[in-house]
Structure 1
């Protein structure tokens, strides 16, 4: 009985063992073969396989000695990479005899899949390979040799760091004890430990076969690790395009382990995400998107069709929502994420503007793009937006609270209605976004990032911008406080303070205490001054992407914003004196 919903089951005989194979989807479509890791069974793919089956013929099998597959006798010597390759080829011949398959491996599934994609006898049977959290033992062996041959301080730190992460490998080489632990207390406690360490859902995983799976799987390490690391193959070159998915919060594998991988896999596409080791459970949505895009590009004869924009390795396929995306900084930011291959949700209260941004995002390279209409000052509207986006596209990975309005004029000319309007959009709009999208990020437990667009007015007082400056100062402090609260959940929070940027906000800003004609005159004058400054919103967008990658706390963007920020920290009295100067009207 398979634990993957809707799967058809068959048995494949190979090398004295019987493999349990689950199939989903139309056999006439390209075949994707999923190989699980340790101490898992094929059910680790239960959140990935059904989604992939909407586009492909999907196959997941229990590795020998795991799940419903039988174990070799004797166990010693029964789990070598050579025998695992025999198993894979038998499954591939059974499920896709006339066409090569697209291979996906996680953990030890990836370790053995690297063997499949680099040995001559599997050449022509693999169309592409997606590797998740599992290196080639041959590449790992060469990586160690090179660092031992030239032990610079940095290389020594890398060796020691990976050695510490690999503590469990040494434990699994001890006789009998791993089997006793897995069939005893460790096997009982593992589901709870996994939920606590990796924040993975625990409804249908792990399965009841976990103790025997883990006990048998110890021989994967004993039969292969020491021989391959001691004597790695010199010809371990990938004969198919490779997509490498690297979780940046992996407890077991260092990101540095894949340095120089292009030497062994010339057709390499890199992906990273701020997640833990068990990506098939914690981030199935993201993994499905990347696999689908990669397989589709290879099938279309474009194995190098992955997004090439800056930070594509970080944002491709990730879900990004930008408010105020119809124009200015919001539009530029949505398009910058699109060029990095993200899935973009463009939100604006102007439906037509949001639609135009989404259309342009698709042209620029977004994996997908949608337009949504919402007024961020309306709490119920933002709540419904969050419900709709989550249901249709998943939990947002990056939230950019950008929507804002401008308001100039002295304090006594600013009415309470003026205050309410500017605070409703500039402050409450940010609060609503953080509350309804940020909460879902926190509940998912797999990290994320929130960007709140504040202003240089947040730390630069001005007699002409009391309401606007107060709203943006509140956004800055909210961001700093939320960053502290969410740090333990791997959710970064950044306050971006642009400065004078040439956007449409100058032509729509309100000026308190003026009649309609005077307000139009001031708008034209302000727009002309900003136009002369001519700092483009695209530079702010680039700063936003960079801030997310670097997890920066506060980002003053323009030179005048950076100067004001430095003065606010080191010479606040100078800023106060400048604030007394009456601005030209």
Structure 2
């Protein structure tokens, strides 16, 4: 069964080769041409193409010698970048003669794309280029030459590191052996390897032509790599806007290869994804969103790109377009976190039981640069409501990339004044609310199989005992241990878990905190006094939000945020007796 259901096929003849071309979507809309890599065929793009076809005219073709396209005779010399450029121009003329096309390439499709985007004869035929997992061989050659000519320990390490990653390139230059391997055991085992190593869904992919495609495709390397690396073109400047998508877990290409890329591509947008090499199969949802955004922007003069991307804001390359759910988002740390992710170009779901507050946060997130923001009203302690929320978010917006379990309530008072009902209320929100979020959204991340990140807001009270916070401290200590345990369980699935431990942060939690065992009048006085103390401390929630983004980007397990939280954490590790002594002191309330 074809993976490109509903596609229209045609054959394009060029230089004695017949290329199999598939088209999806309305031909009157902007044309997006997807070029596959090695050892793939056009079907590698099936999931991306399906997601783009309702907005664009999507074109996929089997590179010569792959899939249903014919191969040159002889193979040697038949796969040069010059001939591959001829093929691309023939396809572009056939499918979009009067308008430039938007080019997208992965792996060797991206290597080809860089050639198409930098040679003079394609000028005016390409509107934009999205590159992933494949550098320009010319840029790569200059990168190597500059590091060899001016060696430093860092540069030598970069060259050696990329040399080790390129082990397969040397093997593909050997005569006969690659062909024998691909037509023999490697061709049979390749789908299983992709499943185990890259976590690639392989239903119907790769296609049955894989052994033949891979054997012929070895000439892509033999015909181009050595000559371009030794004699890179000095004029390999992109004459189109370029979007670079870098999988940070790519086993074959170092991120350092792209350090100098803005020199060669002046109109450059960078994105990163914490995934491995085969992004078109593992994250078609995110790729389709970024491709659509980039294409639309350059069809409309750049206006559709989020401000975070245009301005190069911090973390825009990491979180742009990703889906982030934040609970307790109506105010304080939750609102600040939702807005920080929005400023980085993420799509945000603002969750709170305060409907008006959640709506305000969603509205502010849109104004801050989020390409999408939606309010959701839920009590996180309600298990069934959280399960329905997770299902609704997945159906309407997709699988969550980052979950921030931030909702919480405060409770102060002695242990014997804290009733069983008090305990239930605190644990329902502070602990079970986190459990519900981790269970329902975390399971979606696991089932997708492409990683993600969970942030749980604990507290300095998780490791700093005090006589006045037995219930609150116990709930936050449980969140901390839950986070550590969950991090261990999910590590092998590429899902990070972080416990954030703020200290005294100026948020609205003090205005709603409860004080057990005191009359209502006294409780109001204590709230007002506590809120005043936090206001005088005046540590803003925006600093906690910044720490959360940094923790996700760096996959940190535990982040004490404020100076007092960091001090308490150090004491808990190296001088716990001092903390126990401090816990006996009654604060002057």
User: TM-score, normalization: structure 1?
Assistant: 0.98
Q: Point out the more displaced range, 563-572 or 41-50.
A: 563-572
The 1:276/1:129 distance shift into structure 2, 3 A limit, reads same
Determine the C-alpha separation between the residues in 1 that align with 2:20 and 2:359.
48
Q: Point out the more displaced range, 574-583 or 385-394.
A: 385-394
Q: CA deviation at 1:2?
A: 5.1
Specify the SS of the correspondent of 1:103.
Answer: strand
Q: Does 1:536 align with 2:536?
A: no
Q: Point out the more displaced range, 349-358 or 449-458.
A: 349-358
Specify the SS of the correspondent of 2:415.
Answer: coil
Q: CA deviation at 1:516?
A: 2.0
Q: Does 1:401 align with 2:405?
A: yes
Q: Does 1:188 align with 2:188?
A: yes
2:422 is matched with 418
Contact 2:293–2:304 (8 Å) recurs in 1: no
Specify the SS of the correspondent of 2:404.
Answer: strand
Q: CA deviation at 1:444?
A: 2.1
Q: CA deviation at 1:48?
A: 0.3
2:43 is matched with 43
Specify the SS of the correspondent of 2:129.
Answer: strand
2:370 is matched with 366
Contact 1:35–1:61 (8 Å) recurs in 2: yes
Specify the SS of the correspondent of 2:417.
Answer: coil
Give runs of aligned pairs for residues 307-326 of structure 1, distance below 5 A: 307=308, 308-326=312-330
Q: Does 1:107 align with 2:111?
A: no
Q: CA deviation at 1:408?
A: 0.6
2:150 is matched with 150
Specify the SS of the correspondent of 1:412.
Answer: helix
Which structure 1 residue ranges, 5 or more long, are not aligned?
none
Determine the C-alpha separation between the residues in 2 that align with 1:358 and 1:204.
40
Question: Which of 552, 555, 564 is 2:556 aligned to?
Answer: 552
2:435 is matched with 431
Give runs of aligned pairs for residues 244-283 of structure 1, distance below 5 A: 244-283=244-283
2:487 is matched with 483
Q: CA deviation at 1:442?
A: 2.2
Contact 1:267–1:303 (8 Å) recurs in 2: no
Q: Does 1:494 align with 2:498?
A: yes
Determine the C-alpha separation between the residues in 1 that align with 2:2 and 2:116.
25
Over residues 95-132 of structure 1, what are the superposed CA-to-partner deviations in whole Å (9 max), with x where a residue is unaligned?
11111111000000000000000000001111110001
Q: CA deviation at 1:303?
A: 7.6
Specify the SS of the correspondent of 1:211.
Answer: helix
2:84 is matched with 84
Q: CA deviation at 1:309?
A: 2.5
Over residues 275-327 of structure 1, what are the superposed CA-to-partner deviations in whole Å (9 max), with x where a residue is unaligned?
01000000011101111111111111128945233210100011111111111
Q: CA deviation at 1:527?
A: 1.2
Determine the C-alpha separation between the residues in 2 that align with 1:489 and 1:163.
28
Q: Does 1:443 align with 2:447?
A: yes
Q: Point out the more displaced range, 226-235 or 522-531.
A: 522-531
1:198 is matched with 198
Please, what is the CA RMSD of the aligned residues? 1.2
Determine the C-alpha separation between the residues in 2 that align with 1:515 and 1:95.
77
Give runs of aligned pairs for residues 272-351 of structure 1, distance below 5 A: 272-302=272-302, 305-306=305-306, 307=308, 308-351=312-355
Determine the C-alpha separation between the residues in 1 that align with 2:445 and 2:585.
44
1:563 is matched with 567
Contact 1:244–1:270 (8 Å) recurs in 2: yes
Q: Point out the more displaced range, 167-176 or 437-446.
A: 437-446
Determine the C-alpha separation between the residues in 2 that align with 1:4 and 1:162.
35
Specify the SS of the correspondent of 1:422.
Answer: helix
Specify the SS of the correspondent of 1:346.
Answer: strand
Give runs of aligned pairs for residues 97-246 of structure 1, distance below 5 A: 97-246=97-246
How many aligned residue pairs are there?
585
Specify the SS of the correspondent of 1:450.
Answer: strand
Q: Does 1:352 align with 2:353?
A: no
Specify the SS of the correspondent of 1:301.
Answer: coil
Contact 1:39–1:210 (8 Å) recurs in 2: yes
Q: CA deviation at 1:3?
A: 3.0
Specify the SS of the correspondent of 1:48.
Answer: helix
Q: CA deviation at 1:436?
A: 1.4
Question: Which of 380, 386, 391 is 1:382 aligned to?
Answer: 386
Determine the C-alpha separation between the residues in 1 that align with 2:305 and 2:188.
45
User: TM-score, normalization: structure 2?
Assistant: 0.98
Contact 1:62–1:69 (8 Å) recurs in 2: yes
Which structure 2 residue ranges, 5 or more long, are not aligned?
none
